[in-house]
Structure 1
Amino acid sequence: MKLVHTVAELREEVAIAKSQGLSIGLVPTMGALHEGHASLIKAANQENDFVVVSVFVNPTQFGPNEDLDAYPRTLEADCKLAEKMGANVVFAPSPAEMYPSVDATWVEVTGDVTKVLCGRTRPIHFRGVTTVVTKLFNLAQPDRAYFGQKDAQQVEVLKRMVKDLFFNLQLRIMPIVREADGLAKSSRNTYLSAEEHTAALILSRSLQAAKEQYATGERDAAKICAAVTASIKSEPMANIDYVEIYGLPELTPVTNPMVGSNLLAVAVKFGTTRLIDNVVLEDK
């Protein structure tokens, strides 16, 4: 496996792979890799001949007073995990390498898909995501790109971008990976104290209860949200940002009664750490 830091180096590696007729899988990450990322890299390795993993803490998706400076940076450990899972190249650029112009060029998806949920309180976040992912798509020229369902709104935003900009690639969306106690894997879990970690287990328990509520016939979105909200509020350390349901795809307003596929998403703070989680409610 090779570690490269510049656009020129990555382009050279991609050109060699393309010249050999190899299919390319891309796994974009912000580093601090965990088992969730490992599952993406493993899937990319199984489905492609050549795998690029990007490790880049993207400054443009962080708003004022967010955790850009404190975000964990563990490149050496990331490279070891990426290599173990089958990556061929780790691309770890600097911010100046990825944003060479003082006046940046942006790629932005508009509409409800970027305005609800996290987009309501993090108005620049998804513009930063779509811009950096576009750059990575252009550089790695992947046949397939891998993302996790935990970031469900990001997934829907990227689906729209890929469709609207005619990217010639397949988005592969992989299931949420959870710790043994049910907490969704996240790089931000390292911020949690032991007490906050235990408190945060209310998220997966509440979502599972909602899934069971739906399975037994409940189709009133307001009632499901109310039950999840009450459950999370029963944990004194939880500070709710949102508990909401939207229709899939594209996070459309939910119908009542609910039909088709719907996303139940939550964002909750434990101490200073904001966690997100979700479950899809649909009839099998």
Structure 2
Amino acid sequence: MSPAAPALPLVARTAAELRTVVAGWRRDGARIGLVPTMGALHQGHLTLAEAARRAGADRILFSIFVNPAQFGPKEDFSRYPRREAEDLAKLAGIGADLAYLPTVEEIYPPGFAFSIVPGGPIVADLEAAIRPGHFAGVATVVAKLLIQAGADIAAFGEKDYQQLLLVRRLVRDLDLPCAILAVPTVRDGDGLALSSRNAFLTEAQLAVARRLNRILAEIAAEPGRLAAGPDRLRDAGFDAVDYLVLRDAETLADPVPGRPRRLIAAVRLGATRLLDNLPVA
């Protein structure tokens, strides 16, 4: 007899259903860990759950919501991969407790009129300049998810580094009672940062994409190579380099001696943008 498949997690599709389940967990004294995602789950997402458990979460909740507010009019909202059945099976495999799958109308009901507009040096450029309005969409949905879930811990990957710093500032400035857990980027065997958008790449593009981390690692080891970095990336087969910068790891301001630094890049392959970053000693 074949072993039984792991039980699927509970599913909530409204904030009311979510809060009912979480309230029961809290009565039992459980600490709640939230992993906010847009679905098309991969090992990088699942690793966030493992990190939340190690940080003290007793119950693991995944939100799966493709957030229209963080996509520009010419971006890939309509084609972003949506794989609910596959995602639920993956969550069953790691023993996730609940999947929150709200509709757009649940997050942004008719008449929705407020959003969070971030400011400060963290959103002065980079993704904020290339994708106007993107971080307002991110900040608004993350705040709503943290409030709806009542999470004690929320885990975010370092791959979207500017987003991670934004979320930390959001929680600090709005006094949200949630610890933000930063989890190192998960990579494939060739060093490519795992991303749901990697599914858009052809085999030939994947071969190019796997050169990104190698080039960044060389620059991180020898920052004097930074100026030549964009040309090296284009020579490696990338169609465009949106940015390649060395910044303060905590503020994204220009680096100063004695403080941690981060090498941050965004490149394009066909219609797909790839983000990556590495710490610099």
Q: Judge same fold: TM > 0.5, yes or no.
A: yes
Residue number in structure 1 paired with 2:197: 188
Instruction: Quote the sequence identity (%).
Output: 38
CA distance in 1, matches of 2:238, 2:86: 31
Residue number in structure 1 paired with 2:4: none
CA distance in 2, matches of 1:250, 1:160: 10
Q: What SS does the aligned partner of 1:54 have? A: strand
Contact 1:145 1:171 in 2 (8 A): yes
CA distance in 1, matches of 2:225, 2:139: 31
- Which shifted more, 109-118 or 121-130? 109-118
1:69-103, CA deviations, whole angstroms, 9 ceiling, x for partnerless residues?
00000111111111222210000110000001334
- Which shifted more, 189-198 or 1-10? 1-10
Contact 1:183 1:200 in 2 (8 A): yes
What RMSD, in angstroms, separates the aligned Cα atoms of the two structures? Answer: 1.3
Residue number in structure 1 paired with 2:186: 177
Residue number in structure 2 paired with 1:278: 277
1:114 to 123, 138, 158: 123
Structure 1: segments with no counterpart, 5+ residues: 215-222
1:131-151, CA deviations, whole angstroms, 9 ceiling, x for partnerless residues?
001001111111110000001
Q: Which amino acid aligns with 2:41?
A: L
Q: 1:152-167 maps to which residues of 2 (within 5 A)?
A: 152-167=161-176
Give the deviation of 1:44 after TM superposition.
2.2
Structure 2: segments with no counterpart, 5+ residues: 1-8
Q: Which amino acid aligns with 2:239?
A: A
Give the deviation of 1:190 after TM superposition.
0.2
CA distance in 1, matches of 2:179, 2:83: 29
Q: Which amino acid aligns with 1:262?
A: R
1:220-272, CA deviations, whole angstroms, 9 ceiling, x for partnerless residues?
xxx342132232121234311111121121211223xx431111111100011
Q: Does 1:7 align with 2:8?
A: no
TM-score, with structure 1 as normaliser: 0.92
Residue number in structure 2 paired with 1:85: 94
* Matched residue count: 272
Q: What SS does the aligned partner of 2:278 have? A: strand
Residue number in structure 2 paired with 1:198: 207
CA distance in 2, matches of 1:236, 1:281: 24
- Which shifted more, 112-121 or 225-234? 225-234
Contact 2:220 2:263 in 1 (8 A): no
Contact 2:238 2:267 in 1 (8 A): no
Q: Which amino acid aligns with 1:41?
A: A
Residue number in structure 1 paired with 2:232: 231
CA distance in 2, matches of 1:72, 1:151: 18
